[in-house]
Amino acid sequence: MDINFQNILVVTSVVLAVIYLFKKFSPKKSTGNCSKKDCGCS
């Protein structure tokens, strides 16, 4: 591929896109609470 300004932009955007999707869908730690039962002590 020739190295010109537009190609550099394209490559940059692809890299950004991949990083974004990767970050978005990698499992995160979450803080859940009161699940397996009814909440509270009622």
Partner 1 sequence: MSKQIKVALIGNPNTGKTSIFNSLTGLNQKIANYPGVTVEKKEGVCKLSRGVKAHIFDLPGTYSLNASSMDENLVVELLLNKNHKDFPDLAIIVSDVENLKRNLILFTQVKDLEIPTVLAINMSDRMKYKGIELDIEKLEKKLDTKIILTTNRTKDWVGEVKNLIENYKDLSSKIFLDTSIIEPEYFNKLKNIFPNQQLYKLWVVICQDVNFSNVSRQEIENSDFEIKSTSELKRLQQKETIKRYQLINNILKEGQTIDSSKAQGFRAKIDKVLTHKFFGYVIFLMILMAIFQTIYEWASIPMDFIDSSFASLADWVKINLPSGAMTNLLADGIITGIGGIVIFIPQIAFLFMFISILEESGYMSRVVFLTDKTMQKFGLSGKSVVPLISGVACAIPAIMATRNIESWKERLITILVTPFMTCAARLPVYLIIIALVIPDEKIFGLNYQAIALMSLYLIGFITALLSSLILTKILKIKRRSIFVMEMPNYKFPRIKDVFYTVFEKSKSFVVEAGKIILAISVILWVLATNGIGDKFENPRNYISENIEEISIEEIQTLEASIKLENSFIGFIGKSIEPVFKPLGYDWKIGIGIITSFAAREVFVGTLAVIYNIDNYDDSEGKKEEIKNIMARETDANGNKIFTLASGISLLLFYAFAMQCMSTLAIVRKETNSWKWPILQFIIMTALAYFISLISFQILS
| Residues touching partner 1, count (CB under 8 A) | 28
Map the footprint of partner 1 across residues 4-33, applying CB under 8 A: 4-7, 9-10, 13-14, 16-18, 20-21, 24-25, 28, 30, 32-33
The alpha carbons of the chain give a radius of gyration, in whole angstroms, of 22
Measured between alpha carbons, how far is residue 20 from residues 2, 12, 13 in Å?
A: 26, 12, 10
From the CB of 38, what's the least distance to partner 1, in Å?
A: 5
Alpha carbon of residue 12 to chain centroid? 17
Interface residues with partner 1 (CB under 8 A) are 4-7, 9-10, 13-14, 16-18, 20-21, 24-25, 28, 30, 32-42
